[in-house]
Structure 1
Amino acid sequence: MTDQRQSEAVEQEILRRIARGEKPSAEERPVYAAYVERNRLEGVSDWNRWASDKVFPPQWDERTAAMATMIPDAVKSVADFGCGTMALRTLLAEHVTYVPIDIVARGADTVVMDLNAPVLPSLPQAGIAFLGGVMEYIIDLPRLIRALCQGYSMVVCSYVGAAGKAETTAKRRSDGWVNDFRISEIIAMFEDHDARAVALKSFHAHSLMLFSISHRR
């Protein structure tokens, strides 16, 4: 087996285990980071990872629960981007319409869309957009934020801000993340599109943010 084929075989084995919900070892993280960076440069999503239903650890549901408390009581419909296990559905009042969205179907009612597609799909209508653990995986995040601010009056989202250049090319890629913004930069991108942060919370390393958007006529 040539060195290239051996490297490809190692990468494929790592990807198979990630799809089963396992984390790469410290020795394997650079290999996965290189794979993620290659996807970023090619402008494609990590289909291998997200096609699986086994990649959603319980702590992600805990983050969803923390974010759900930020949804205003008056909201009548929620667009749940990256819905995964649809944990948010069980946390909403009965009168709230739930719109699950993901890169693959998680159920019969899932709106399937790839937020890293060359042309961003039309976003479903709802009273608020909900993005828990999504924005780190978006290659052109400014494009998505612009579309969110154009399509919704409120956005609740989470993000783990970049700590510095050393982390950018190493740890963030090995976590599967394809962008590297500070929280101040995330807020500024929303503000550039007439949004203002009306609530900010912390959940472990995540910043939870609720934005209200003023649509000019």
Structure 2
Amino acid sequence: MMTNLFSIFEPSSSSNFPLNWISTLLGILFLPSLYWASPSRWSLLWSKLITTLHVEFKALLMFSHKGSTMIFISLFSLIVFNNFLGLLPYVFTSSSHLTMTLSLSLPLWFALMIYGWLNHSNHMFAHLVPQGTPPALMPFMVLIETISNIIRPGTLAVRLAANMIAGHLLLTLLSSTAPSLGLSILSILITSQILLLMLESAVAIIQSYVFAVLSTLYTSEIN
């Protein structure tokens, strides 16, 4: 019996297996069939997606180091695999936890900040004061820009976790009313659940893309 609606997101509630966080790595199991087996439509589709993301991220990145786009493509792949795995029954949704999302956003933001302050200190200081700011407002603008910069990894993590939690909660709330409904209302509920599942599939891709794109846009202040 669930004592709390949010207990469905507890690591201990999905199963008695203590290592259910290992579901985060399940996406890796899908890769060998895509790249080492004979070419298929799925492998061609995934290669086309990676090529498209590479072109887009390369245009957004402010530095042109070799392989820099692969960091964000790998980040996108990891998040989208976890989001889709969380839609399967009895699979632990790791991307709905701040522990997981902060582990992705915080090290990336911290590495970008260290790189920027060590190699482009003048640019980093210049971004703290927008162009055309009156001298009297400069101390306040520095404070505001510093706070907005510090909370960026938190906003990235909360955006992803909140969107995944919202959809799962809605699906859980609707399915919990099924035993008390009649046959006609139950058919409507099942149809709405299928539509919500399609919406959650779209959200899983969109949120992964937003997370990766915003991470690339944060590089604009370090160069």
TM-score by length of 1: 0.31
Q: Which of the two has greater helix per residue?
A: 2
Q: Which of the two has greater strand per residue?
A: 1
Highest Rg: 1 or 2? 2
- Relative contact order (alpha carbons < 8 A, sep ≥ 6): 1 or 2 greater? 2
